[in-house]
């Protein structure tokens, strides 16, 4: 099965509807109505998908007139993608099926400071181990998500905060040479935001990730916003205290530095307030509908961070006479979002 050879705009429309229909399936007539394609075009596309093992019959459904309609469903196990979250001190990799469900996972310690060659070998080993678990030919590629800033279009890293030696490293090309499959590279926060949008988070939202660093993924009008140079979302390096502690980026008083300092002192309530101040600036600037929190540090004290960030946003909204933007913990991880960097385009969902 060569799913890449089947890629086209109309095929992606049909595949996405099959995916969202779930195990109950969808009829060819419904596919035609919802895609605005002719019934003949839908029949040709679904025939190719069935021949490729991507779609199969899911039974029959009663119609308002005439014989019952055959419904089709996606075959989730017919393809997979690998997503890798490469953090400063840990690698988490997942293999997902065509619905985005995680079917295998690996987690190992890693140190970005040991140098590009050693890190690339580790990433390639873990990704290859997950790729090898599936039938030959069903792998679509590997998505890599890691701290920014970076050039998403060319897969080239810029100066990862704290690790200047990575500046200019062509991570995508280095991994493609080792793995022999397509590789997509993006910031951890963008990947997570994409995964959330594909999973059903609608409208405009900000995903704030607090772990070994702090960043934001922005979805505006249902689309991931990367910016003109794919550098949007460097949320952690907004200065909120001019005489504050030094940050690894070279400035002082960044939200990231203040948050991480508070966490290191065990002052999670203080860290949440600082995160709330940064979130309030972002809400005022972009007028998003929702703030989602994620990352290792948030996960360890989710209620405290949600409560602290929400309190700051509520106070700002009350003073402005506006309705507060809701805050909650994000459902889904960065590695799952990284897999969507590869899987999304198959369903015509490259940016949300």
Task: Give the CATH number for residue 123.
Answer: 3.30.420.40
Q: What is the pLDDT of residue 288?
A: 94
> What phi, psi does 86 have (nearest 5°)?
-100, 100
Q: In this structure, are 184 and 234 located in the same domain?
A: no
Q: In this structure, are 124 and 214 located in the same domain?
A: no
Is residue 151 within 8 Å of residue 173, measured between CB atoms? no
Q: In this structure, are 233 and 312 located in the same domain?
A: yes
| Token couple for 137 | 């030919």
**CATH code for the domain in which residue 62 is found:** 1.10.10.10
Q: Which DSSP string do the residues of 287-314 spell out, in sequence order?
A: --SEEEEESHHHHHTHHHHHHHHHHHHH
How many angstroms separate the CA atoms of 319 and 326, rounded? Answer: 16
Does a structural domain hold residue 205? yes
> What phi, psi does 84 have (nearest 5°)?
-125, 125
Does a structural domain hold residue 173? yes
Please name which of 143, 156, 121 lies closest in space to residue 192, comparing C-alpha atoms: 143
> What phi, psi does 255 have (nearest 5°)?
-55, -40
Q: Determine how β-strand 80-86 pairs with β-strand 90-97.
A: antiparallel
Does a structural domain hold residue 159? yes
How many angstroms separate the CA atoms of 279 and 293, rounded? Answer: 10
Does a structural domain hold residue 149? yes
pTM over cut 0.85? yes
pLDDT (average), residues 39-49: 94
Torsion angle defined by CA atoms of residues 288, 147, 211 and 323, in that order, rounded to the nearest 10 degrees: 0
Q: In this structure, are 30 and 90 located in the same domain?
A: no
Q: What is the pLDDT of residue 65?
A: 61
Residues 6+ apart with CB under 8 A from 250: none
- Tell which of 57, 77, 97 closes a domain: 77
Q: What is the distance in angstroms between the CA of the first residue and the CA of the last residue of the chain? A: 26
Q: What is the pLDDT of residue 248?
A: 84
Q: What is the pLDDT of residue 66?
A: 64
Q: What are the tens digits of pLDDT across the range 222-269? A: 899 988 777 777 888 999 999 999 988 889 999 999 999 999 999 999
Q: In this structure, are 164 and 182 located in the same domain?
A: yes
Does a structural domain hold residue 275? yes
Q: In this structure, are 60 and 95 located in the same domain?
A: no
Q: Which DSSP string do the residues of 166-232 spell out, in sequence order?
A: GTT--HHHHHHHHH-S-EEEEEHHHHHHHHHHHTT--S-EEEEEESSSEEEEEEETTEE---TTS-T
Q: In this structure, are 281 and 220 located in the same domain?
A: yes
Q: In this structure, are 239 and 125 located in the same domain?
A: no
Q: What are the tens digits of pLDDT across the range 103-146? A: 999 999 999 989 899 999 999 999 999 987 555 457 899 999 99
- Tell which of 36, 56, 77 closes a domain: 77
Segments forming the whole domain that contains residue 246: 200-329
How many angstroms separate the CA atoms of 343 and 11, rounded? Answer: 14
| Cα separations in angstroms, 36 against 130, 188, 231, 308 | 38, 36, 36, 47
Confidence tier at 212 by pLDDT (50, 70, 90): confident
- Tell which of 77, 98, 129 closes a domain: 77
Residues 6+ apart with CB under 8 A from 88: 111, 112, 147, 160, 162, 163, 212, 213
Query: What would you report as the CA-atom Rg of the chain, rounded to the nearest whole angstrom?
Result: 22
Number of folded domains that form the chain:
3
Q: In this structure, are 215 and 271 located in the same domain?
A: yes
Q: In this structure, are 145 and 158 located in the same domain?
A: yes
Q: Which residue has the tokens 């062509």?
A: 170
H or E, element range at 251: none
| Token couple for 24 | 């109950």
Enter the DSSP assignment of 259.
H
pLDDT (average), residues 325-340: 95
Does a structural domain hold residue 266? yes
Q: What is the pLDDT of residue 136?
A: 46
| Token couple for 187 | 């910031």
How many angstroms separate the CA atoms of 82 and 342, rounded? Answer: 8
Q: What is the pLDDT of residue 3?
A: 59
Does a structural domain hold residue 352? no
Q: In this structure, are 126 and 137 located in the same domain?
A: yes
Q: In this structure, are 153 and 139 located in the same domain?
A: yes
pLDDT (average), residues 27-49: 94
């Amino acid at each position: 099965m060569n799913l890449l050879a089947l890629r086209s705009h109309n095929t992606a429309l049909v595949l996405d509807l099959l995916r969202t229909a779930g195990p109950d399936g969808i009829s060819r007539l419904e596919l035609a109505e919802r895609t605005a394609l002719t019934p003949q075009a839908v029949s040709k596309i679904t025939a190719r998908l069935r021949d490729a093992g991507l779609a199969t019959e899911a039974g029959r459904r009663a119609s308002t007139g005439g014989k019952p309609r055959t419904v089709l469903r996606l075959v989730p196990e017919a393809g997979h993608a690998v997503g890798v979250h490469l953090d400063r001190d840990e690698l988490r990799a997942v293999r997902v099926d065509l619905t985005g469900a995680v079917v295998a996972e690996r987690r190992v310690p890693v140190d970005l400071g040991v140098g590009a060659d050693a890190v690339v070998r580790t990433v390639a080993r873990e990704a290859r181990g997950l790729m090898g678990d599936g039938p030959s030919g069903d792998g679509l590629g590997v998505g890599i998500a890691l701290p920014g800033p970076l050039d998403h279009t060319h897969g080239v890293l810029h100066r990862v905060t704290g690790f200047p030696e990575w500046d200019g490293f062509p991570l995508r090309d280095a991994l493609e040479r080792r793995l022999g499959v397509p590789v997509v590279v993006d910031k951890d926060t963008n990947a997570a935001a994409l995964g959330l949008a594909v999973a059903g988070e609608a409208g405009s939202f900000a995903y704030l990730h607090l772990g070994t660093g702090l960043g934001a993924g922005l979805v505006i009008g249902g689309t991931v916003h990367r910016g003109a140079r794919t550098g949007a979302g460097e949320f952690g390096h907004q200065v909120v205290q001019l005489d504050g502690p030094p940050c690894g980026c070279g400035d002082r008083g960044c939200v990231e530095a203040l948050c991480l300092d508070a966490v290191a002192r065990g002052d999670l309530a203080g860290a949440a307030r600082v995160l709330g101040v940064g979130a309030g600036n972002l809400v005022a600037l972009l007028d998003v509908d929702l703030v989602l929190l994620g990352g290792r540090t948030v996960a360890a004290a989710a209620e405290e961070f949600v409560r602290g960030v929400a309190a700051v946003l509520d106070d700002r909204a009350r003073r402005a006479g506006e309705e507060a933007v809701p805050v909650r913990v994000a459902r889904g991880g960065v590695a799952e979002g990284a897999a969507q960097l590869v899987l999304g385009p198959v369903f015509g969902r490259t940016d949300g």
